[in-house]
C-alpha cells in the first residue's frame, strides 16, 4: 500500500512514516518545514518528501492519505482530498488499526517527561531482551531512531494528549488501548485547544476508561490532578510512584546513582544515572514499574538504567568552544523550563547558566503561561529571549528578572549578545520546541570567532 503522509516531519507523524515503511508500505509525505532530526531519519529510510501542501500531490495517487494533527481546514491539499472524497485517516487511527492491534502496548502519558520516560522504558525492555517496538517523540541516543517495528509483542508509545486530527478532537492517546499506562503528571498546557485544566482531565478520564482490568496504571502520587482523574472512575489496578506506599527514589550520590524502594522495601540501587534532576528520577521509577508489569525483574531494570545515554534535544550537549558549552533542550512549558534548569544546576554546580529561550509553542504564544515564566527561569544567571512574532511583550513579562533578562526580535543580535556575555566554564542552555533558526550552530560559530 502507498501512504502519503501530511505533516510528515512532526515527531509523531515522522514516527508513523518509519513504522509504515518497516511494515512494508511505500511511504511518501509532505510538510511545510523540513529540518533534522526527523528529515534526516526519513531520508535515510528512502522516504521521499515534498515541500509544502500543493494540491498537485494528488497525482502521486496514494492508496491512503494519513493526516497529521498540524493540518487544518483550509490546507490546499486537505481541501482537495475532501472535495474528491479520497480515502484518508488520522495518524493515531492508522497506527491503532495497523500496528498496535494485538500487541501489549505500554503507553506513557503526562504533560511533562513523556519522551524521556518512553525512551527509558523502551531501553529497559531492550536490555531485558524483549526487543520492543516503539514510537517516541524524540530520538533516544541508544537507538538512534524515534520509531521502530519488531516482531516483539511489546510496543512502547508516547501517549500524547494533544488532539488527533482536524476531524477528531479527542486526544491521540484514546486510540492506543494500552495494557500498561504511565500517568506521569498533569497540568495545564495546549491553551490553543483546551480551555482549562478540567478539560484536559476529562481527556485523561477518557483514556483511563479504555484501559483493561488486567492492565496496570502507574501514576504520580504528587499530582492532585491525576487523583481527581482516577476518582472519576478507574477499572484498572494502580501503582503509585513518589509515594511512601509505592515506588520511591532517594537523593542521588555524586554519580547520580540512587536507591529504589517499593512500599518501604528496598529493591536495589542504580549505580550510575546520567539524567540530572529529581524529575528524571521520577521518570525512571515510572519506567521501572511499567517494565516490571511486562515481566522484567527490578534488578534487570536497575542495571539497564545505568547504561541509558539520553535523548536528543534533552540536555543534549551540541559542542564546547573556548570552555563554553552549548546545550540543546526541548523545554517550552514553564514547568519543563524550571525542572530542566534545576537539573542542569544540580549537574554543573556554581557554573553560570545562560538561558536562551524561544517561546514558540501555541500555549506560550497565546501568553497563557506568562505569569509562571519569570519564576521558571530563576536558576539562570542570565536570560536571552527570542520574542519574534509574540502577541505579548516579553520585556514586560520578564521584567521581574531585572537586568538578568534581555529580549531580542532578531536572531543575529541575540547570538552576538550571548557570545559576548559567555565566559569559560559557562553553560549556554538553548530551550525551544522547534529548530530555533539553527541558533546552536550560530552560537558555536560566534564563540569560535
Domain containing residue 272: CATH number: 3.40.1190.10
Q: Is the pLDDT of residue 37 over 70?
A: no
Do 349 and 298 fall within a single domain?
no
Other beta carbons within 10 angstroms of residue 349's beta carbon come to 6
Q: Is the pLDDT of residue 193 over 90?
A: no
**Domain-located, residue 266:** yes
Q: Total structural domains in the chain?
A: 3
Per-residue model confidence as pLDDT tens digits over 125-168: 999 999 999 999 878 888 888 899 999 999 999 998 888 999 99
Do 263 and 160 fall within a single domain?
yes
| Per-residue model confidence (pLDDT) at position 16 | 95
Do 43 and 187 fall within a single domain?
no
**Domain-located, residue 406:** yes
Grid cell 531512531 in the structure block, residue: 145
- Determine if the peptide bond prior to 234 is cis (ω within 30°): no
Per-residue model confidence as pLDDT tens digits over 252-261: 887 788 999 9
| Per-residue model confidence (pLDDT) at position 36 | 67
Q: Quote the percentage of the chain above a pLDDT of 90.
A: 64
Do 36 and 156 fall within a single domain?
no
Helix, strand and coil content of the chain, in percent to the nearest 5, comes to 35, 25, 40
CB distance 185 to 223 below 8 Å: yes
pLDDT band of 191, cuts 50, 70, 90:
low
pLDDT band of 361, cuts 50, 70, 90:
confident
Residue that terminates a domain, selected from 91, 116, 139: 91
Do 182 and 276 fall within a single domain?
yes
Residue 264 burial by Cβ neighbours in a 10 Å radius (0-12, 13-18, 19+): exposed
Q: Is the pLDDT of residue 287 over 80?
A: yes
Q: Which residues contact 265 (CB under 8 A, 6 or more apart)?
A: none
Q: Is the pLDDT of residue 3 over 80?
A: yes
| Per-residue model confidence (pLDDT) at position 251 | 79
Q: Is the pLDDT of residue 437 over 90?
A: no
Do 26 and 159 fall within a single domain?
no
Higher pLDDT, 157 or 364: 157
Residue that terminates a domain, selected from 306, 332, 361: 306
| Per-residue model confidence (pLDDT) at position 84 | 97
pLDDT band of 1, cuts 50, 70, 90:
very high
Residue that terminates a domain, selected from 249, 279, 306: 306
pLDDT band of 313, cuts 50, 70, 90:
confident
Do 374 and 443 fall within a single domain?
yes
2-6 and 26-31: which strand pairing? parallel
| Per-residue model confidence (pLDDT) at position 195 | 82
Do 154 and 241 fall within a single domain?
yes
DSSP string, 230-289: HHT---S-EEEESSTTSEEEPPP-TTEEEEEEETTEEEEEEEE--S-SHHHHHHHHHHHH
Dihedral angle computed from the Cα positions of residues 353, 358, 363 and 369, in that order, rounded to the nearest 10 degrees: 40
Phi, then psi, of 83 in degrees rounded to 5: -65, -35
DSSP string, 178-192: -SEEEE-------TT
Straight-line distance from the first to the last Cα atom of the chain, in angstroms, rounded to the nearest whole number: 52
Domain that holds residue 245: 102-306
Dihedral angle computed from the Cα positions of residues 328, 331, 335 and 339, in that order, rounded to the nearest 10 degrees: -20
Q: Is the pLDDT of residue 13 over 70?
A: yes
3-class DSSP state for residue 424? coil
What pTM was computed for the model?
0.80
Distance CA(420)–CA(356), nearest Å, equals: 14
pLDDT average, residue stretch 210-223: 96
Give, in order, the Cα–Cα distances in Å from 207 to each of 91, 108, 170, 215: 17, 11, 10, 13
Q: What is the Cβ-side half-sphere exposure of residue 305, based on CA atoms within 13 angstroms?
A: 34
Q: Is the pLDDT of residue 41 over 80?
A: no
Nearest to 230 by CA among 218, 242, 241: 218
Nearest to 428 by CA among 272, 310, 334, 321: 321
Distance CA(165)–CA(94), nearest Å, equals: 12
Query: What are residue 249's DSSP bridge partners?
Result: 260
Do 267 and 146 fall within a single domain?
yes
Amino acid at each position: 500500500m502507498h501512504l502519503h503522509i501530511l505533516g510528515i516531519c512532526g515527531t509523531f507523524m515522522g514516527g508513523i512514516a518509519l513504522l509504515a515503511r518497516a511494515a512494508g508500505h511505500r511511504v511518501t509525505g509532505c510538510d511545510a518545514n523540513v529540518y533534522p532530526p526527523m528529515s534526516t531519519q526519513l531520508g535515510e529510510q528512502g522516504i521521499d518528501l515534498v515541500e509544502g501542501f500543493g494540491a498537485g500531490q494528488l497525482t502521486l495517487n496514494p492508496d491512503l492519505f494519513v493526516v497529521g494533527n498540524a493540518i487544518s481546514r483550509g490546507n490546499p491539499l486537505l481541501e482537495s482530498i475532501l472535495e474528491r472524497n479520497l480515502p484518508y485517516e488520522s495518524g493515531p487511527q492508522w497506527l491503532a488499526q495497523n500496528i498496535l492491534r494485538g500487541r501489549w502496548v505500554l503507553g506513557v502519558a503526562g504533560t511533562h517527561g513523556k519522551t524521556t520516560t518512553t525512551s527509558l522504558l523502551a531501553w529497559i525492555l531492550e536490555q531485558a531482551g524483549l526487543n520492543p517496538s516503539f514510537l517516541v517523540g524524540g530520538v533516544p541516543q541508544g537507538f538512534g531512531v524515534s520509531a521502530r517495528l519488531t516482531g516483539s509483542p511489546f510496543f512502547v508509545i508516547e501517549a500524547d494528549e494533544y488532539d488527533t486530527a482536524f476531524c477528531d478532537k479527542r486526544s491521540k492517546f484514546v486510540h492506543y488501548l494500552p495494557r500498561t499506562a504511565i500517568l506521569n503528571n498533569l497540568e495545564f498546557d495546549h491553551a490553543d485547544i483546551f480551555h482549562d485544566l478540567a478539560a484536559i482531565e476529562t481527556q485523561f478520564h477518557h483514556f483511563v476508561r479504555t484501559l483493561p482490568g488486567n492492565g496496570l496504571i502507574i501514576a504520580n502520587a504528587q499530582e492532585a490532578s491525576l487523583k481527581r482523574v482516577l476518582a472519576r472512575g478507574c477499572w484498572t489496578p494502580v501503582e503509585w510512584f513518589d509515594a511512601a506506599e509505592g515506588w520511591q527514589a532517594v537523593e542521588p550520590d555524586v554519580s547520580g546513582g540512587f536507591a529504589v524502594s517499593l512500599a518501604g522495601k528496598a529493591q536495589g540501587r542504580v549505580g550510575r544515572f546520567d539524567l540530572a534532576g529529581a524529575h528524571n528520577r521520577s521518570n525512571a521509577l515510572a519506567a521501572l514499574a511499567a517494565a516490571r508489569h511486562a515481566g522484567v525483574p527490578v534488578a534487570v531494570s536497575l542495571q539497564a538504567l545505568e547504561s541509558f545515554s539520553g535523548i536528543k534535544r534533552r540536555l543534549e550537549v551540541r559542542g564546547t568552544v573556548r570552555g563554553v558549552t552549548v546545550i540543546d533542550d526541548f523545554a517550552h512549558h514553564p514547568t519543563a523550563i524550571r525542572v530542566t534548569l534545576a537539573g542542569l544546576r544540580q549537574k554543573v554546580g556554581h557554573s553560570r547558566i545562560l538561558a536562551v529561550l524561544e517561546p514558540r509553542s501555541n500555549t506560550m504564544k497565546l501568553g497563557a503561561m506568562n505569569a509562571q515564566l519569570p519564576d521558571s527561569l530563576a536558576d539562570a544567571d542570565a536570560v536571552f529571549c527570542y520574542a519574534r512574532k509574540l502577541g505579548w511583550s516579553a520585556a514586560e513579562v520578564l521584567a521581574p528578572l531585572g537586568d538578568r533578562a534581555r529580549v531580542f526580535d532578531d536572531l543575529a543580535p541575540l547570538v552576538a549578545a550571548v557570545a559576548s556575555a559567555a565566559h569559560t566554564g559557562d553553560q549556554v542552555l538553548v530551550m525551544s520546541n522547534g529548530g530555533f533558526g539553527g541558533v546552536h550552530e550560530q552560537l558555536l560559530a560566534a564563540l569560535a570567532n
